[in-house]
Chains A and B, each alone.
Chain A
Amino acid sequence: MSASAIVALPLLGAILPPLFARAGRTPALLAALAPSVVALLLLWGQAASVFSGVPEEVRVPWVPALGLEWALRIDGLGFFFASLILAIGILIFIYSRGYLAGNEPIGTFYAYLLLFQGAMLGVVLADNLLLLPVFWELTSLSSFLLIGFWCHLPDGRRGARLALAITGAGGLALLAGLILLGEVAGTYRLSELAARQELILASPLAPAILTLILLGAFTKSAQFPFHFWLPHAMAAPTPVSAYLHSATMVKAGLYLLARVWPVFGQTDAWVVWVTGIGAATMLLGATIALFKDDLKALLAYSTVSHLGLVTMLLGLGTPTAVFAAMLHVLMHATFKAALFMNTGIVDHETGLRDLRRLSGLAKVMPLTAGLGTLAALSMAGVPPLNGFVSKEAMLVEVLAARWGGGWPLWGLVGLAAILSAAYAFRYFSALFFGPLRLPEGRIPHDPPALLWGPPLVLVVAVVVLGLWPSLAEPLLAAASAAAVGAHAPWPELALWHGFGAPLVVSAVAFVIGAAMVWHYRALSGRVLAWALPFDGRRAFFSAQEWLVRGAHRLIARVHSGVLGRYVLLLAVVSLAALALGWGMGEGWRPQRAPTPMNGLGLIFAGVGLAAIGLVVRWHHKRLRAVLLTGAVGLVVSLAFLHASAPDLALTQISVEAVTTVLLLLMLFFLPQHDTEPVAKPRGAAAASILIGSVVGLLAWVMMRNDGPNLADYFWSRSVSEGGGSNVVNVILVDFRGYDTFGEITVLGIAALVIYALLQGMQEGVAREHLHAWRFPFALSPTRHPLPFAVTARVMLPFLLMAVFYIFFRGHNAPGGGFIAALLLALAFLIQYMASGLSWTMHRMRLDAHVWIGTGLLVAGATGMAAMGLGAPFLRSAHGEVHIPGIGPVPLASAMGFDLGVLLTVFGAVTLALVQLAHLGQLAGFLPSRTPMDPARPKPSEKEG
């Protein structure tokens, strides 16, 4: 369990410092130290099991469905890195206490640092292929917060974003690679991978897996060509640079390389790529570092170079090279962290980090100068410091490398050693020695112990590890054994290896390096011009800009905001889908012969098409458009007649009549012409014709297909189950009675909506508009001509008779409630047109709402009655009733339902009509001045 505790302590402990920060800065420091110290003690408590090779494991199922488990394992490699993370972390915490200014939120800072620490521990202890990338991303996130901690600096923000983007993207690549690895290997446990090496390498996915994992590692460890984020991340406060960007986080990539070494470490692809990229990074970083004047930039590029060196060692493919890599990780962490802290002190005291404006600081800050010089000498690889030990080991390994014959690589390494010696010399010689140069008005001096203590500890380690390197041997041997999966004869660590090629290289490097510092000015301009284009930052930002601009262009193209264009797209895509379906089908053969067509039918069709064409032509002339639409409707009803559907024809023709009249009435209040459409989408006409043709074709195809014929079904059951021989009516009131019930309900609601809308127009602004409105043409004084009125009144009883007739015959012959209702409405419409609203309304005492409500109630009651008798809703009963004098009359309970339909439909039409008429009155459209009804009030009186 202690493995879980080690990871969890810093993560959970992150809550403490912000709380304790209220009590002061020192309590915050203690709160931050506590979790780390306890975790470090717990970790070292595991030392025995680690060195005996029986690592502690924790496994708790987390999301078993995905293969994710909380699996931690403290083996030699994990132990080595975890010790480094915790030990340096403790020093950094102490240092930060002195470094951060009094008004900065140190509690938050510690919280971020602890979060980072926990995530980092998770990375190096995780034993699950999914858990590792999770912690990996968490380190990116927490580093984002830390780099951006000084968010008032634009550089800090940009650096944070850059770092997050590069390492975050690399983390996703890593995640993808590890998932593939898990799928291929059949296990998600890191510790079981080595045993399945053959299986993994045999998979065709192996190159992809390797590429993705390397992408993850190279981005995190700032390898060429992704190295550019690291120097920009140096905008962070110096403790962060020291901790994340030199000692720990950037080493996560190296850790990962060591972790998968047993699987891929000896393949050709690995050796070529890892060694090649590592060497390139090493050289490039060292070159740029030499010519940087900003101290932190110098150290950043030097870190890039050293990371490249370790990468190269891991790529060599020999177990001893892995050992040398681990050795250098340890040595680099100590001297580089010390150097960063040292730079932080200089920055803190002088406010500057520029080598061109500072020099001779040893005179005012002797302690700082001593520490910095020792650490820099170690970086240069000067004996008897620890940098020398690891550099020698590295040179030995490169010389023994099986790849590249050793020598070309040897040359590169030698060059890097020269450069590295040069920038290390330059660091301390330019900064601490020579004439004293300082910024105006500041007198720097050695800082308090909080600031020099931590680097002192590290410098002591630098010296001790240099003099007695074998002290670190058990730790490194355990780490290397865990990394390569076997115990190999590890090279012996000693300060003095005797004379040999490595020593010669070192000596030459010192000499040439010193010479380069001497002739620095002559060199700098030329080399900088060569090395600077390798900065990927510009590429990154221009890629980002390109992406944003591209997105804007895309939006402008696909999302114009014009509705017509959307509709066009919708239609075209649907057609394409249809074509796809057609293309994937097996072809089509008509299964039915087409119905024959005679000359009359062709004429009808021609008239209909002509009318449609004219509607399109005159669609903005409203009156014509309405009348022409009516003509189209008439042709449709003729088509129904032609197809032997008198019932439909009757319905269609009455619907046409009523809607045309209502539309005309409404048009009265509207402008005569529609405005010309603003913009027609290009190709709209062609698209419309295409869509129309396709839909027509589709209908044709469907109708010539042989499917189950519904007509037969209804024909055979209409009389036996519905009790009527008019199939259409029986369908309406019986088979599909439910639907009809729904429809009349909707109709009723629609009528209420019309009521609400038009009622609204009779109030407020609209009312004033109507009042102010004048007819655009002269009116005849006799608006209700006498002959028309008289004829209409005479016609009324006959029309009502027809309504009754059509209603009652409906169940067996063309007719029915719906048609009857429309006819009834027409009968009253005629009265309204002939005699005016008030005359008509005066005689229709029932409000239209009542008609609608009653209709719905009647229809519903008929259906409920059936349910009351244990039958489904709306099931009809039928029989014959003998009425004396008339004879047997066939009756079906559906007739009650039909009556409901009649009342509702009639009510809906009347309601619309009455509301329109009210509008007319408001607009000054007063009743005729030639009253012909004796019962009517005098013209002087106001009409209601």
Chain B
Amino acid sequence: MEFERPDFSLAAAEIFVAVMALVVMVTGTFLRRISRELGYALAQLTVIGAAFITVFSVDDPTVRYTFGTMYVSDWLGQVLKLFIYLSVFASLLYGRLYLIERRLEKAEYYVLMLLSMLGAMILVSANNLLVLYLGLEMMTLALYALVAFDRDNGLRSEAAIKYFVLGAISSGLLLYGMSMIYGATGSLDLGVVGQAVSLGAGDELVFKFGLAFLVAGIAFKFGVVPFHMWVADVYHGAPTPVTLLISSAPKLAAFALAVRLLVGGFFGLAETWQPMLMLLAVASIVLGNLAAIAQSNIKRMLAYSGISHMGFVLLGLLAGVTDGGHQQVFNAYSSALFYAVSYALMSLASFGMVLLLARTGFEAEHIDDFKGLNRRSPWFAAMMMLVMFSMAGIPFFLGFFAKFAVLEAVVSAGHTWLAVLAVIMSVIGAYYYLRVVKVMYFDEPMDRTALIASSETRVLLSANALTLAVAGLMPQGLMAVCGYAVLTSF
């Protein structure tokens, strides 16, 4: 076996984050007095530094491998990573005051944040079943801990336990599937697996069994029906900054997981996984939208809305399995990526708003807490309205183009009925988004205290919400990036 020194520079961002996570941990242990401010500053620095490293390494559009072929550096990964950084950055920034007010601002929090980000990064760049799994576990284990971070709170602990138990089972399923694939092909490398699958080398039945488990694992990470049970409880139970993170970065990572496994590894069995995704997507879009209507807690409402959004991402993924030309396949995947990225942006802004309204001893997690926001802060009421409109997919907003791109891909793949169903359910779904708008504008405020927020939060949150409108006017930039990422990565 020839030994080749790996090209560490391709994984420079991961290495940097790993080192910095340890640095934060060590400083948190030894510099106790300033560890809180330092932890926050170092964590943000790490995120920004990692973003710089990633940005400066994207100029080369070729797909490159390192650590043998275990790790892949491509545009798809870089784009997803940049949005993962953004999620973590926003979670840290929006959530800072929340943590301080609840005395949760400890160095461990930042370490866990960075570690879960690192896990997501590894997952995104993995080209090997084991590396994929390692990244996944690293990300989710840190998240379990983050959910339980406010550990004296029963709600949080319950959510964490549920998340952990169900997450462990789903990881087990995923691992079981991987081991079957390994048994059938004798390789953990996704490229080799992909070849074996498309050539039919290996027992077809074992492949299908393995595939069933992989899809179950992926579905759990996406939080799509019927693997969605954890979503609402965890979104509700977790501290809001953690909910914000869970609703964005892991979804992007799950997208990478799905693309790397299903498209990269199992395209040869696409006609088997496509119907599975179809069932998952339909169930998610239907149940997510209906269940969201019944919610009075905005975190739960956003959880169910997230379920239906993930159904849309799956729609985009399954539309890539088509007899149409290369262009159609490419459009489908880029639409799915575009949707995932857009959802992350919307989700950040919506939970950012929940955080903005929260203050000491008050979580602002009920829809009623948004009553009369227009009287209290017309500006942020308008921002929330932009976010809700975008989520509902009202034209001219980012969410609309995301839905549009996916639906177009679905229609051109020949599944018109899916598109029709998705549209009908989105119309029903618009109800609960608009209810928030109605409450903000037409109802009397329950309390009239002014909003407390740092100026950074105000600026970034406004920018975040305005992006949804501006990117809705000019979506082609983001679309082009997504398209380029998909084009160069396959």
Where the two chains meet, the residues of A that have a C-beta atom closer than 8 Å to any C-beta of B are: 62-66, 133-134, 137-138, 141, 148, 151, 157, 161, 164-165, 168-169, 171-172, 175-176, 179-180, 183, 544, 547-548, 550-552, 554-555, 558-559, 561, 563, 566-567, 569-571, 573-574, 577-578, 580-582, 584-588, 698, 701-702, 705, 707-708, 710, 870-872, 875
List which B273-297 residues lie within 8 A (CB) of chain A: 276, 287, 290-295
A-B pairs with beta carbons under 8 Å apart, 23 shown: A66-B405, A133-B395, A137-B395, A157-B442, A164-B434, A168-B394, A168-B427, A175-B395, A176-B420, A183-B412, A547-B290, A551-B291, A551-B293, A555-B294, A563-B162, A567-B169, A570-B226, A574-B173, A701-B205, A705-B203, A707-B203, A707-B206, A710-B186
User: Interface stretch among B39-47, B117-125, B210-218?
Assistant: B210-218
User: Is B427 touching A172 in the complex (CB atoms < 8 A)?
Assistant: yes
| A176 (CB) vs chain B CBs: closest residue | B423
A875 surroundings in chain B (CB, below 8 A): 3
A710 to chain B: closest residue by CB: B186
The reply to whether B227 and A588 contact each other, CB–CB distance below 8 Å, is: no
Residues on A with C-beta less than 8 A from B233 are 561
Q: Which residues of B contact A179 (CB under 8 A)?
A: 408, 411
Let me know if B314 is at the binding interface, CB within 8 A: no
Asked whether B438 lies within 8 Å of A161 as measured between CB atoms, the reply is yes
Contacts of A559 in B (CB 8 A): 229, 232, 291
Which residues from A are CB-within-8-Å of B209? Answer: 578, 581-582, 698
- Asked whether B370 is an interface residue with its Cβ less than 8 Å from the other chain, the reply is no
Task: Map CB proximity to A onto B383-397 as digits: 1 under 8 Å, 0 otherwise.
Answer: 000000100001110
- Among residues of A, the one whose C-beta sits closest to the C-beta of B204 is A585
Q: Which residues of A contact B229 (CB under 8 A)?
A: 559, 566, 569-570
B153 to nearest A CB, angstroms?
Answer: 16
Q: Are A871 and B3 touching (Cβ within 8 A)?
A: yes
B34 touches A (CB below 8 Å): no
Which B residues contact A (CB, under 8 angstroms)? 3, 161-162, 165-166, 169-170, 173, 180, 183-184, 186, 202-206, 208-209, 211-213, 215-216, 220, 226-227, 229-230, 232-233, 272, 276, 287, 290-295, 331, 389, 394-396, 401, 404-405, 408, 411-412, 419-420, 423, 426-428, 430-431, 434, 438, 441-442, 475-476, 479, 483
Bound: A573/B165 CA distance, A = 16
Question: In the assembled complex, how far is the CB of residue A210 from the closest CB belonging to chain B, in whole angstroms?
Answer: 16
Closest-CB distance, B29 to chain A (whole angstroms) = 12
Across the two chains, which residue of chain A brings its CB closest to B216? A574
Known: A66-B408, A148-B442, A570-B220; 9 extra A-B contacts, CB below 8 A, are: A63-B401, A137-B396, A544-B431, A563-B165, A570-B229, A581-B211, A705-B206, A707-B186, A870-B3
Is A151 a contact of B291 with CB atoms below 8 Å?
A: no
- Contact between B290 and A550 (Cβ–Cβ < 8 Å)? yes
> Given A179-B408, A705-B206, A577–B483 Cβ distance below 8 Å?
no
Chain A residues with CB under 8 Å of B276's CB are 577, 580
Closest residue of chain B to A148, judged by CB? B442
> A934 vs B212: C-alpha distance in the bound complex, in angstroms?
67
Chain B residues near A698 (CB-CB < 8 A) = 209
Q: What CA separation (Å) do A159 and B213 show in the bound complex?
A: 50
Q: Which residues of B contact A555 (CB under 8 A)?
A: 291, 294-295
Contact of B287 (CB < 8 Å), options: A62, A552, A558, A580: A558
Question: Which chain A residues border B483 with CB–CB below 8 Å?
Answer: 65
Q: How far is the CB of B427 from chain A (nearest CB, A)?
A: 5
> Which chain A residue has the least Cβ–Cβ distance from B169?
A570
Chain A residues lying within 8 Å of B230, measured Cβ to Cβ, are: 566
Which of B220, B287, B423 lies in contact with A172, CB distance below 8 A?
Answer: B423
Determine whether the beta carbon of A157 is less than 8 Å from that of B438. Answer: yes
- Chain A residues with CB under 8 Å of B479's CB are 63, 65
Contact B427 A582 (CB under 8 A): no
Residues on B with beta carbons closer than 8 Å to the beta carbon of A134: 395-396
Q: Which residues of A contact B475 (CB under 8 A)?
A: 63
CA distance A308 to B183 in the complex (A): 70
Given A548-B293, A567-B169, A871-B3; A584-B287 close (CB under 8 Å): no
With a cutoff of 8 Å between Cβ atoms, the chain A residues found around residue B272 in the complex are 581, 584
Residues in A neighbouring B204, C-beta threshold 8 A: 585-586
> In whole angstroms, what is the CA distance A66 to B335 when docked?
11
Q: Is B294 touching A548 in the complex (CB atoms < 8 A)?
A: yes
Interchain residue pairs A-B with the least CB separation, the first 7: A581-B208, A551-B294, A566-B229, A551-B293, A577-B212, A708-B186, A585-B205
With A63-B401, A567-B169, A872-B3 known as contacts, the answer to whether A554 contacts B291 (CB < 8 A) is yes
CB distance B212 to A580 under 8 Å?
yes
Which residue from chain A places its CB closest to the CB of B432 in the assembled complex?
A551
Distance of A289 Cα from B372 Cα, bound (Å): 37
Bound-state CA distance A482–B466 (Å) is 39
Q: How long is the Cα–Cα vector from A574 to B177 in the complex, in angstroms?
A: 11
A175 contacts which chain B residues (CB < 8 A)? 395
Q: Which residues of A contact B405 (CB under 8 A)?
A: 65-66
List of B residues within 8 angstroms of A588 by Cβ: 205
CA distance A558 to B233 in the complex (A): 13
Q: How many angstroms from the CA of A138 to the CA of B295 in the assembled complex?
A: 28
- For residue B430, which residues in chain A have a CB less than 8 angstroms away from its CB? 168
